[in-house]
Structure 1
Amino acid sequence: MPGGPKGGAVTVRYWAAARAAAGVDSDVVTGCATVGDVVAAATALRPELAPVAAVSSLLLDGRSAQRDAAVPDGAVVEVLPPFAGG
C-alpha cells in the first residue's frame, strides 16, 4: 500500500456485518496514506471483507471520511456496513 511519511500503524475496527465477514473485531495495518489505502490493506488481509467494505461507510477517528482522506499515524478507521432498521 502507498505509505504516508511515517507509515505508522492504523487500527481498523469492524462493525456488524463487517465484523462477521472479517472474523475479527479489528486489525492493525501500516504504510497507508489514505482511508482508501487502509481499506485496501484490510481487504488484502481479509479478502472476505471486500464486498462488505465496498458498500460501507467509513469513519476516521470518529468522523465520517471519504476514501481519499489522509490518515495520520495512530488513527482509527471504522468500517460501518449499511444497517437495516425501523
Structure 2
Amino acid sequence: MRYWAAARAAAGVAEESVVPGRVADVLAAAEARHPQLAPVVAVASVLVDGLAVDRDAEAPAGCTLEVLPPFAGG
C-alpha cells in the first residue's frame, strides 16, 4: 500500500505490505497499525492499480493500493 501527502505523514511510512482483501478491511488494518491515519482515510480516495475504487472492492494479491487524501494544487 502506498500513502501520499497527509496519509504518508499520518502513517509515518511511504508504503508497506498488506494482506489482500476487501479495501475496507485493508484500510481498517492500516488504521489499527497507524491510529493517526483514521481521519485521513475517512476523506481519502483509494486506488487499486491506478483505478479509483469504493471500499467494498477487492484489493487482490499483487495489486498496488494507494491512499490519496484530498490536497490543493494550482
Same fold per superposition (TM over 0.5): yes
Segments of 5+ residues of structure 1 without an aligned counterpart are 1-11
Once superposed, which parts of structure 1, at least 4 consecutive aligned residues long, lie more than 2 Å away? none
Q: Following TM superposition, by how much is the alpha carbon of 1:70 offset from its aligned partner in structure 2, in angstroms?
A: 1.4
How many residues are paired up?
74
Partner Cα distance (2:15, 2:50) in 1: 15
Segments of 5+ residues of structure 2 without an aligned counterpart are none
Q: What TM-score results when the alignment is normalised by the length of structure 2?
A: 0.91
Partner Cα distance (1:50, 1:68) in 2: 17
Q: Which has the larger radius of gyration?
A: 1
Residue 25, structure 1, aligned to residue 14, structure 2: yes
The residue number in structure 1 matching 2:26 is 38
More helix by share: 2
Residue 67, structure 1, aligned to residue 55, structure 2: yes
Cα RMSD over matched residues? 1.0
Partner Cα distance (1:85, 1:73) in 2: 33
Match of 1:76 among 36, 59, 64: 64
Q: What is the identity percentage for the equivalent residue pairs of Structure 1 and Structure 2? A: 61
